[in-house]
């Protein structure tokens, strides 16, 4: 897969150069390219923003360089899907990440200032928000989307690993512990220390369900519905 990110802050993407994403890049499972929007301007000042029509505060990213950047990248990977990061978009979640991980490529546009000229939406496949809050720019959302999608690419994680993560089939993950078995009077639950695989699996399933029910009731209802419809609601047992 190929991921192209268009930004006015190309130096900010250090988190994509560590850990799982870096290993995926090193192994050739994903190619990540960071493009400086200024390189797609035509004027000598490399102007990427301008004042909004109608007046008002703030600046807006101009559509010409954004169009030029997307057109340029599409020449190299014509089937890439284009994402605009915006607090007004569809809320990003694990299901959307799974869908995006099956595309041949992603071009992610990072907005800034008051956002991008609305006409950019005409070349966008997905407008995505990473949450109901407003960030300064689309760089953090682009990194969130990239990290989440790359983890789901075949071979990046051990085969079953995403199955044990939160949100797989609408469940949160179970509590985890490591050594020592007692710390400041807090004991690791007996079932986990029992060595009995069936008991451990049952404990984990019960905890995941309890947690989801308490913390995310809407998610829990979807999980229960899946179980009732005969879908295998939990591959952790």
Ligand X SMILES: C[S@@+](CC[C@H](N)C(=O)[O-])C[C@H]1O[C@@H](n2cnc3c(N)ncnc32)[C@H](O)[C@@H]1O
Residue 146 interacting with ligand X (CB under 6 A): no
Residue nearest to ligand X (CB): 111
- Looking at beta carbons only, is 70 or 171 nearer to ligand X? 70
Residues 6+ apart with CB under 8 A from 89: 126, 127, 128, 129
Residue 112 interacting with ligand X (CB under 6 A): yes
Residue 234 interacting with ligand X (CB under 6 A): no
The footprint of ligand X on this chain (CB under 6 A) covers a number of residues equal to 20
Tokens of 73: 């990248």
Residue from the set 27, 31, 39, 88 that interacts with ligand X by CB under 6 A: 88
Query: 180 preceded by cis ω (within 30°)?
Result: yes
Residue 65 interacting with ligand X (CB under 6 A): no
Whether 64 is a known active-site residue: answer no
Residue 114 interacting with ligand X (CB under 6 A): yes
Tally of CB atoms within 10 A around 161: 12
Residue from the set 110, 150, 152, 208 that interacts with ligand X by CB under 6 A: 110
Whether 165 is a known active-site residue: answer yes
Bridge pairing between strands 81-91 and 105-109: parallel
Task: For residue 116, give the 3-state DSSP assignment.
Answer: strand
Q: Pick out residues in 116-135 that bind ligand X (CB under 6 A).
A: 116, 129-131, 133-135
Closest-CA residue to 83 (of 181, 176, 5, 195): 5
Nearest approach in angstroms of CB 114 to ligand X is 5
How many angstroms separate the Cα of 222 from the Cα of each of 152, 214, 234?
22, 14, 12
Nearest approach in angstroms of CB 58 to ligand X is 7
Residue from the set 51, 136, 176, 196 that interacts with ligand X by CB under 6 A: 136
Tally of CB atoms within 10 A around 63: 17
The active-site residue out of 87, 117, 141, 209 is 87
Q: Virtual CA dihedral for 94, 97, 99, 105, nearest 10 degrees?
A: -170
Whether 151 is a known active-site residue: answer yes
Q: Using CA atoms, how far apart are residues 230 and 235, in angstroms rounded to an integer?
A: 13
Whether 87 is a known active-site residue: answer yes
Residue from the set 62, 66, 82, 138 that interacts with ligand X by CB under 6 A: 138
Binding site for ligand X (CB under 6 A): 85-88, 110-112, 114-116, 129-131, 133-138, 141
């Amino acid at each position: 897969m190929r991921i192209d990110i268009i930004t006015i802050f190309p130096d900010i993407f250090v988190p994509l150069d560590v850990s799982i994403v870096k290993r995926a890049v090193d192994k050739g499972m994903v190619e990540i390219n960071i493009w400086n929007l200024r390189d797609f301007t035509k004027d000598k000042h490399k102007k990427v923003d301008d004042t909004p029509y109608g007046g008002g505060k703030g600046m807006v990213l101009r559509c010409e360089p954004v169009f030029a950047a997307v057109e340029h990248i599409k020449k190299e990977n014509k089937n890439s899907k284009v994402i605009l990061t915006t607090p007004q978009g569809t809320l990003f979640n694990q299901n959307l990440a799974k869908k995006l991980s099956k595309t041949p490529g992603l071009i992610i546009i990072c907005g800034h200032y008051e956002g991008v000229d609305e006409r950019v939406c005409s070349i966008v496949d997905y407008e995505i928000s990473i949450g109901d809050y407003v960030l300064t720019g689309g760089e953090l959302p682009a990194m969130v989307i990239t990290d989440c999608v790359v983890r789901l690419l075949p071979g990046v994680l051990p085969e079953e690993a995403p199955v044990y993560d939160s949100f797989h089939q609408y469940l949160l993950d179970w509590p985890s512990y490591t050594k020592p078995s007692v710390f400041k009077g807090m004991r690791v639950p007996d079932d986990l220390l029992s060595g009995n695989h069936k008991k451990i699996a049952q404990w984990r399933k019960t905890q995941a369900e309890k947690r989801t029910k308490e913390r995310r009731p809407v998610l829990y209802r979807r999980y229960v519905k899946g179980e009732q419809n005969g879908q295998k609601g939990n591959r952790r047992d």
